[in-house]
Structure formats: C-alpha cells, structure tokens
Amino acid sequence: MTISNEALEMAARVEAFVRGRIFPYEQDFRRDHHGAPTDELVMEMRELARNAGVLTPHIRPNGSHFNQRETAAILIKSGLTPLGMLACNTQAPDEGNMYLIGHVGNPDLKARFLKPLVEGRARSAFFMTEPAELQGAGADPSMMITTCHRDGNHWVVNGKKCFITGADGAKVGIVMAKSEEPDTKGGACLFLIDLPDPAITITNVPNTIDSSMPGGHADISIDNLRIPADQMLGDAGEGFKYAQIRLSPARLSHCMRWLGGCIRAQEIATDYANRRMAFGKQLIDHEGVGFMLAENMIDLKQIELMIDWCAGVLDTGSLGTVESSMTKVAVSEALMRVADKCVQVMGGTGVADQTIVETMFREVRAFRIYDGPTEVHKWSLAKKIGRDWKHANA
C-alpha cells in the first residue's frame, strides 16, 4: 500500500507544528511527581494542536484511520519530542486504546468512550499487568489473577494491577480479567469503564526510569467493580484475542514515536559535536565521535526500514504477530544504542535535563520491557523457528 498525499501533507503539518510550537515547551517544567507533564500543560498544548489542525492526526475526521505506513509517517513526526505526541494526541496508551475501541467497539461504546479520546478531551488506561509478588500476569499474560463473573446484568471484577500507565487522571479504562464463567473456558474479558470509580483504588504510583507519560504507571486494587454487561468490549472469553488486535499496531506505534525522539536526539548530538571543541578541533573531527554519529545514522535508517516493512505487512490485513515481534526487538534495541551514543557524544550535557537526549535514553530503556520484553519476543520467535522446522521436516 502506498502513502497518500493526504498523509504526507499531514505528516509535514505535524512536523512544522511540533518543531515550531512544541519544542519551546521542552523548557516548561510543569511536571507531576513522576516527572510527567501535567494535564494542564498537555491541555494547553492540545489547544494549539487543535487550532493547527494536527490533533489526533492519524485518524481522519470521519473516524477512519490512516493505514499503518501512513500512520508511521505521521507518528514519527509527532514523536520528535515526547511532548509532541502528547500535544497531538498520538501518545501511548491512548493511541492503542483508540485503535482497539475503534476496531472492536460497537457504535454505542464508540460514541461514549472513543469520542472523548479522539477529541483529546480525556485520557485512558489499559489494565492488564499484575504484581509479580502475587504471580500475576506479566510477560506471561495467561497468569492473570484478576477475575470476573456475571451477576445479573452486570459483571463483577476483583483483582490487582500494576504499571498501569495513565490510570491516575484517566477518564476511560479498559480492564482485562479472567472469566470464571464455565462457558468462557477460562478466557479473558475486556471491559470499558468510566474512571474514576470508587471500586478502583490507586495504591501507589512508583517513580520509574521514564517520565513522559502523564499519570505515571499506577498500582491498582480492584474491589467488587460492577460493570454493566453492555460495557464489555467484544465477546466474553475473547479478551486475549482482542488484546492481540491491539498488540501489533501498538508495538509498532511505540517504534514510530520513539524513532522520532531519537532522530531529534541525533540532531541535538550532531549540533553539539559540530560546535564543541576539544584538543584543538571540533568533536565531529575526532574519529571516535564521528563514528558514533555515523553508526547512529545507519541504525536510524535501519529502524525506519523495519517499521516500514512491518507496517506494510499489517496493511495487508495480517495480524503481523511475528513481524511486529521482530520489529519491536530490533527497533527498541537499536534505539537504545542510538540514545546511548547521543548521550556519550554530548558528555555531561548528555545526562542533564537541558535537552531531550537524556529523556530519550530513559524512555527507550523502558521500551525494551513493555509491550513484550526483548527476551520474550526472541523466545516466541525461537518457538516458531522450531515449529516451522518440524513442519518442513514432517
């Protein structure tokens, strides 16, 4: 599938907006205790994005999504700074949540839960992971301990969750729970809920290495949460299947946004290396520095090509599970190398919060873990290699 002029024009508008209007906000330190931009700051930037016609730029006014390759063109530009994705409403977890509700929700659920998200008036959270100390769902989602059962026209949910990005301050939640109903054969259910809800308690918001996602990553207790049955997203017992629908595009869109951030980090490091002198010449003329930036240039191009390849696969209608696993590993590991080299090129300035280089280093470190840690993707790819070999040699 090709990239339309409409998408290319939108990508150009987003880039001009982010560079011109949002970069200056990097020195605005309205932050919550987790270090993330406050909702006040986000809403202020969103108003600018709305006026510039670049709010939720990956979804057309009629609700249809640009295809994945087009989305890549747009999201890379919105990610040129972590604040850009918040301003344009392309950030995680909302972008993935919008995709899921848009693909699985019925018209009533879309009108109630999707509309405020697309309009950038509300934030959302996806409740899947559970505490390691309770042996809950983590790298292995099938270990889910949060349960749900029917009670008349309602479902009742109980359990604990953790690392729930944006739960603190979110208005919309997607909650995943394992069904105790015999006809669902232990499958999971997904529910759309309004937040806050008295049955959902935020017990802690830990400080984490990353800091760009509003609300941080909350620990949650869910105690007898009663949800009307018509707020189930999709069918009972099919939750893991729907999570898969969200998974590949959401993984890929993280790659797109963080590529944007690392392109910018490389620009900043390049500028530093060309201005800063050491031992009688500019840093760029020291081979050790020049090679770091050259290696980054190669990594950044390879990342772009891998995202484009995976996006193309998803655009054929494939779930792209294998391709998005490969891309997520390759891109997150390569971004880590790029961000690390940008820090190194810039010496002490690289680890100070004067530029987004140190932010990007912290953000891409966390990206190697969420949406499937590197080792889990490699493990599942290795299983596929074994299966394919057995099939070919049967």
Ligand X SMILES: Cc1cc2nc3c(=O)[nH]c(=O)nc-3n(C[C@H](O)[C@H](O)[C@H](O)COP(=O)(O)OP(=O)(O)OC[C@H]3O[C@@H](n4cnc5c(N)ncnc54)[C@H](O)[C@@H]3O)c2cc1C
Per CB under 6 A, residues contacting ligand X are 93, 126-129, 132, 138-139, 163-165, 208, 210, 217, 366, 369-370, 373, 375-376, 379
Residue whose CB is less far from ligand X, 38 or 374: 374
Residues 6+ apart with CB under 8 A from 213: 36, 91, 92, 165, 166
Pairing of strands 200-204, 188-194: unpaired
- Rounded Cα distance, 165 and 267, in Å: 29
Cα-atom radius of gyration of the chain, to the nearest Å?
Answer: 21
Say how many CA atoms lie within 13 Å of 217 toward its Cβ. 17
CA dist 56 and 357 (Å) reads 25
Question: Which residue's CB is nearer to ligand X, number 199 or number 369?
Answer: 369
272 vs 370, which CB is nearer to ligand X?
370
Q: Indicate the helix (H) or strand (E) that contains 203.
A: strand 200-204
Minimum separation from the CB atom of position 356 to ligand X (A): 17
Is the bond leading into 93 cis (omega within 30 degrees of zero)?
A: yes
Q: Which residues are bridge partners to 126 per DSSP?
A: 174
Give min distance, CB of 131 to ligand X, in A.
8
Residue nearest to ligand X (CB): 138
- Kind plus residue range of the DSSP H or E element containing 299: helix 287-315
Alpha carbons 233 and 176: distance in angstroms, whole number: 10
Q: How many CB atoms lie within 10 A of CB 33?
A: 9
CB of 363 to ligand X, least distance (A): 9
Minimum CB distance to ligand X smaller for 146 or for 355: 146
- Report the residue number, 3 or 215, with the smaller CB distance to ligand X: 215
Residue 223: CA count within 13 A, CB half-sphere: 6
Query: Cβ 190 to ligand X, closest distance in Å?
Result: 12
Tell me whether residue 326 or residue 376 sits nearer to ligand X (CB atom). 376
Angle at 261 between CA 139 and CA 43, to 5 degrees: 90
Cβ distance to ligand X smaller for residue 208 or 321: 208
**Alpha helices per DSSP H over 105-184:** 107-109, 115-118
Residue 43 near residue 220 (C-beta atoms within 8 A): no
Pick the closest to residue 324 from 333, 316, 313, 315 (CA basis).
Answer: 313
Instruction: Give min distance, CB of 137 to ligand X, in A.
Output: 8
Q: CB 165 → ligand X: shortest distance, Å?
A: 3
Question: Residue 110 or 160: which CB sits closer to ligand X?
Answer: 160
Q: How far is the CB of 256 from ligand X (least distance, A)?
A: 17
Q: How far is the CB of 215 from ligand X (least distance, A)?
A: 10
